[in-house]
């Protein structure tokens, strides 16, 4: 996935804006952390990934999914943007969006998705 593809997917979710998280560039939904691109290893931070799912992903696709000590205690996984499938990225973001966006925004988005 290219940087432009990644950004188009992220910004396709309503209420998404660029911002910062712990001083690093990030994407936020309603001021809450959505995702970010780690410049040091070109990996995306994907939240709301259970520890079991993370282990399965890293075992199944070690070239794409990994973790650093900083993230080991959080329900998250890192995904190398270059090898991450855009559809998979969208699925991870949908899960996160449903959790952090306002309920009305989620309902409106779901209705728009159903009509598309």
Mean pLDDT, the chain, whole residue set = 95
Q: How many CB atoms lie within 10 A of CB 37?
A: 19
**Per the confidence metrics, is the pTM higher than 0.85?**
yes
Q: Say which residue the tokens 């270059």 belong to.
A: 82
pLDDT of residue 116: 64
CA distance 12 to 57: 25
Q: What is the mean pLDDT of residues 34-40?
A: 94
**CA dist., res. 78 & res. 66, Å (int):** 5
Q: Which one of 3.40.50.2000, 3.40.630.40, 3.30.70.260, 3.90.1150.30 gives the CATH number of domain 3-107?
A: 3.90.1150.30
Three state DSSP letters for 34-68: EECEECCCCEEEEECCCHHHHHHHHHHCCCCEECC
């Amino acid at each position: 996935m290219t940087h432009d593809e990644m950004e188009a997917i992220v910004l396709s979710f309503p209420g998404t804006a660029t911002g910062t998280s712990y001083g690093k560039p990030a994407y936020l939904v309603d001021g809450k952390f959505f995702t970010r691109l780690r410049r040091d290893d070109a990996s995306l931070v994907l939240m709301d990934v259970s520890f079991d799912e993370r282990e399965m992903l890293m075992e199944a696709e070690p070239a794409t999914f990994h973790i650093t000590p900083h993230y080991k205690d959080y329900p998250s996984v890192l995904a190398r943007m270059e090898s991450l499938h855009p559809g998979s990225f969208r699925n991870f973001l949908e899960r996160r969006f449903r959790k952090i966006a306002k309920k009305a925004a989620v309902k409106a988005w779901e209705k728009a998705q159903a009509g598309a």
